[in-house]
Amino acid sequence: MLNYHLKVGLLPLRRYRKEKFVGIFQAEYAMENKEKCVPYIKEHFADADTEFVDLDWLNEEGILRLNADCDRVAEYFRKEKIDALFILACNFGNEEAAGEVAKQLRVPTLLWGPRDRNYSEGLRYTDTQCGLFAIGKQLRRNNIPFSYIENCDIEVPAFREGLNTFLSVACMVKNFKDLRILSVGTRVSPFRSVMYNELELCEKFGIGVTPVNLAEAGVALNAIWETRQEDLAREVASLKKMFDVGESSEELLMRSMAYVLFYEDLAKTYNCNLISGECWTGLKVAWGGVYPCLAMSVLAARGIYVICESDIHMAITNALLLAATRGKEKPIQGEFTSRHPENENAELLWHCGPFPTKYSVGKPRICGGKPAFRLQDGEYTIARFQADRGNYYLFAETVHTVKGPATTGTYMWAEFKDLPALERKMVEGPYIHHMSEVPGDYTRALKEFAKYAGLQFDSLA
């Protein structure tokens, strides 16, 4: 299962001078910054999924100032099992200590220091910005990927946006490594566009794909049908509250809900909520001509995500978008389908019916055994993780919905900065027409994540 909880180690630093010093390296001014910043971060950014651990145990200041303490600090953070490190330069800081602790931990790292504000009697008391230059260089020389918030006051939007972006990045990194995906059946025969290299995903990124063959799926679905009729009846009753079922037969609805129970059982058995599914040939034949699209839409509300057409790269993209939003939003599988008849930069993002009902305009309908609704208007991030000739890419852009013709299935009309340029990327490579979307703008976080994962980031900018 994806895990959205983060534990972040706070590493306040100051430059240490043994002898009494007047000006930049006076301890009391670094302490003022630390005593303001650490409580502020905990008060404004800690929540049920985010906790911070500090260095108040280390010395009377709760600040790392001596190189000799680096091993103790790194060991403490390891024991606490932190997912990310936040380096705070409380004055010029200590670039050697920052580099050493970060090198030992090798977790996503954020660097920031409060803006220098204290000038009096011709003296400067912190020189934090100057220290940030030195710390950044040390991190780079130690080959440590890191994120950075500009030298600013802690109360300004730049700090809030920077830290929230970093938390999204840290969550993506945490879930990307050792990601597990279930694959029910093989890809549909003509869909060569969704081919992937399972061995390379495992060796490069630690991503594992667990196969479940269609014979097993058929046996499981039949067992559910024979032994869990009461459960299926309850599911159908719940379904009728969520959807306008129209003239859908009771048997069709019951068989659709059997898919729901089947995928739920798989998720529990394998402790995995990302499932790539063969969805419109073998499964349909095995299960009375019923498509799993309706089950996909229902399951998204329960935090189980079944990805269309055996597209493992889309499953990975969905995992990244879920982690970027820290589980607050749900991924949408809108593929490029048709250009807008009037708007040169708008495209129909569509699929048979797997979109999460959370984003439906009005009560969703069931037509031909599949969900049918238009997505709510607004801004969305569109993204795609893609392999091409041994290289791995991550594309991300924002789009805004626009008006367009009504159509079947689940869909939205989306306007791009330069649709012809993106169309060319999909035709000429490396991307295909399958993309994932999520409400909001997470492009900055996805770009930062690419740096940590060793991916080539791409956009229309």
pLDDT digits (tens, 9 = 90+) for 253-271: 999 999 999 999 999 999 9
Q: What Rg value do the Cα atoms of the chain yield, rounded? A: 25
Q: Residue 106: which region, alpha, beta or left (left: phi > 0; alpha: psi -120 to 50)?
A: left
Asked if residue 259 lies in contact with residue 286, where contact means CB atoms within 8 angstroms, the answer is no
- 180-458 CATH: 3.40.275.10
b/e burial code for range 14-45 (CB count within 10 A of at least 16 → b):
bbbeeeeeeebbbbebbbbbbeebbeebeeeb
For 199, counting Cβ atoms within 10 Å of its Cβ (0-12 exposed, 13-18 middle, 19+ buried), the class is: exposed
Tell me how far apart the alpha carbons of residues 35 and 343 are, in angstroms, rounded to a whole number: 54
CATH 3.40.50.1070 in the chain is located at: 6-176
CATH architecture of 6-176: 3-Layer(aba) Sandwich (3.40)
Q: pLDDT above 70 covers what percent of the chain?
A: 99
401 token code pair: 């919905």
pLDDT, tens digit, for every residue of 184-234? 988 877 788 899 999 999 999 999 999 999 999 999 999 999 999 999 999
CATH 3.40.275.10 in the chain is located at: 180-458
What is the overall mean pLDDT for the chain?
95
pLDDT, tens digit, for every residue of 285-342? 788 889 999 999 999 999 999 999 999 999 999 999 999 999 999 999 999 999 999 9
- For residue 390, report the phi and psi dihedrals to the nearest 5 degrees: 85, -5
Model pTM? 0.96
